[in-house]
Chains A and B, each alone.
Chain A
């Protein structure tokens, strides 16, 4: 593992140790808002894509699928952070 990623992990672990429950709740609310926004964007994408597909327009299908996949990866990144702040600290 490189020095930079070790430093990052130490930083996350340090942050986790110092977070109080109200702070963690605020972070969860922040993540929830971002995830909700991305999911609404995905809902709009699938509605528009289905309409285009049923209307015989296939040009938008793969770009929309790509954009939706990007949203999913962003959501998975946010979810990973959610697990990171919950993981019990070994330094305790």
Chain B
């Protein structure tokens, strides 16, 4: 029995030379390719819409951040509680924002957000190398400035501005930067 269907086999041989299963269930490969590419294009346009939504979400977050106002002044510790080369962790400006205060020398104090700017793992002060080390992916930050020395992070650690009133240490703000 001769029958005609508008399909093309992958090996381009005529239908009567194809195995029985292909004659019974012919798959039009060219049409299959066409539909797959077309649907993939449609899916990519959906992804494109997702990216635009993300961009506007960042804009919204930025607007909310700019209307949040100045962070509060927060007492971290007394100078007598922090020996030279010692460190104290604290939460600032919110209750979930981990920060670390370090006293590298007698006369200096530095404080940063403890979240590594790579994937938010906590950084640990390394007094011998005068740096902060992230044990998760080996990001290293300079202790004096918070800048990235090595590893995957792209931004410096957010810096907590400090003020010493009498013998008490206060956090007064957060400074973020891209370099």
Report which A residues bind B (CB closer than 8 A): 21-22, 24-25, 28-29, 31-32, 35-36, 38-39, 42-43, 45-46, 49-58, 61-62, 64-65, 68-69, 71-72, 75-76, 78-79, 82, 86
| Interface status of B24 (Cβ within 8 A of chain A) | no
Count CB-based A-B contacts (< 8 Å): 102
Binary per-residue interface labels of chain B (43-68) against chain A in the complex, 1 for a CB within 8 Å, 0 otherwise: 01101110110111011011000100
B62 touches A21 (CB 8 A): no
| Interface status of B154 (Cβ within 8 A of chain A) | yes
With A43-B51, A49-B58 given, name 16 new contacts (CB 8 A): A24-B34, A28-B34, A28-B37, A28-B38, A31-B41, A39-B51, A42-B52, A51-B155, A54-B155, A54-B176, A56-B176, A65-B52, A72-B52, A75-B44, A75-B45, A79-B42
| Interface status of B11 (Cβ within 8 A of chain A) | no
Known: A46-B54, A54-B176, A68-B51. A21 touches B155 (CB 8 A): no
Sorting the interface of chain B by its residue count into under 10, 10 to 19, 20 to 34 or 35 or more gives 20 to 34
